[in-house]
Structure 1
């Protein structure tokens, strides 16, 4: 896995304001290998969520190139699944119908769609909740449904935008472990945006450290430790402290 599977070259993004353009991302260069788990970490205002929106196709870059398997990323498609911090489940649909909705444009039979939905609910540990309503689920269970929905199309890349940011600490830790298990089982290329340095080093093969205004990559940290990992591993604690040093000069940086 040495070739670039997902490639960002000299990417920049600006938003048009009344008094002129506001630069949000500047000169982003990053190559991601197939099957790799990359964590992007940074404080508020560093553009990490904007970068994810460019990757999923919800925004267009102002310059540079974003390529998936050497093809330009233009708009959204089934090759890139996304999970947001807010699970965004439709309250009038059951769990299985919320996941099924992601297959609306898939060229599959009804039986094939049903099989895929059940398979992915089992993958996230929700086999017994197919007929449940979102109002009957905890926050952690709702995010499991969102992950199942993001994976059910078997995308080439799974993009995660602060998926556990609204959860309590215990549920967050449980879902981090679940995400690691799912990633190991599926082998899908995964990009996680987070402000939680512990989460970034626990899950990522590499941690992309960003700095703000405009957002740019400060450095990329290799996490050369086998999966699954333990939170109390000395190497992870040392990596966490090393990365936090990058933000020690900025008192307004919101990092966990």
Structure 2
């Protein structure tokens, strides 16, 4: 299994502003193994969402390189699935059709596309809601649909930008458990951006701790616990406290 399946080398990002430029990311270097779950955590302004946008291909790096499976990341591509904080479902389409949209340019036949959609709705526990409208779903169910849509192309990596940030605490905890189950079932390389240290530690094989400004990798914390995990494990609390002390120092 490749240790540099997703590779970032000295990535730099600057945005032009009226009086010069805003330096957002500085010298980001990271190798991510195939099938690994990486959590990127940091406070507001540390550049973690900008880093995810570079991985999606919505932004271009000012310097350095980003590669997936040996090929440069250039523009958006179905091999990089994305789930945002806002589920972005089209209210005039059913659940089935919202997921089907991700296969719009697929070479699969119509029957094969529908089979793929229903496989992934089953994966997120929503096959019975295939003909429902987004307005009939709870926030947590809508995010499950978004995860199904992010996975239905069978991308090489799944990118998650604070996907549970707008949900209540109970729903958030339930979906964290669901995401862990889906990741174990699919074995897909996953990168999660979050400001929630508990979430980062519970889900990640490694936690990348970002520091501002400009955004840098402060350190990388190994979460030395097998999956599936129990939320009340003392080691998770220990790692959480360690990372929070890091934030307090900065």
Q: Same fold (TM over 0.5)?
A: yes
Q: Structure 1: how far apart are the matches of 2:103 and 2:94?
A: 15
Q: What residue number does 1:241 align with?
A: 241
Shift of the alpha carbon at 1:184? Answer: 0.1
Shift of the alpha carbon at 1:2? Answer: 4.9
Q: Structure 2: how far apart are the matches of 1:176 and 1:207?
A: 15
SS in 1 for 2:202: helix
Structure 1 residues 125-136: aligned runs within 5 Å: 125-136=125-136
Q: Structure 2: how far apart are the matches of 1:48 and 1:247?
A: 15
Taking only aligned residues, the RMSD between alpha carbons, in angstroms, comes to 0.6
Deviations 1:33-86 (A, max 9, x none): 000000000000000000000001000000000000111000001110000000
Q: What residue number does 1:58 align with?
A: 58
2:111 maps to 1:111? yes
SS in 2 for 1:246: helix
Contiguous gaps of at least 5 residues in structure 1: 251-256
Shift of the alpha carbon at 1:16? Answer: 0.5
TM norm structure 2: 0.99
Deviations 1:150-198 (A, max 9, x none): 0000000000000000000000000000000000000000000000000
Q: Structure 2: how far apart are the matches of 1:3 and 1:23?
A: 29
2:47 maps to 1:47? yes
Structure 1 residues 3-152: aligned runs within 5 Å: 3-152=3-152
Deviations 1:187-239 (A, max 9, x none): 00000000000000000000000011100000000011000111110000000
Moved over 4 A (4+): none
SS in 2 for 1:116: helix
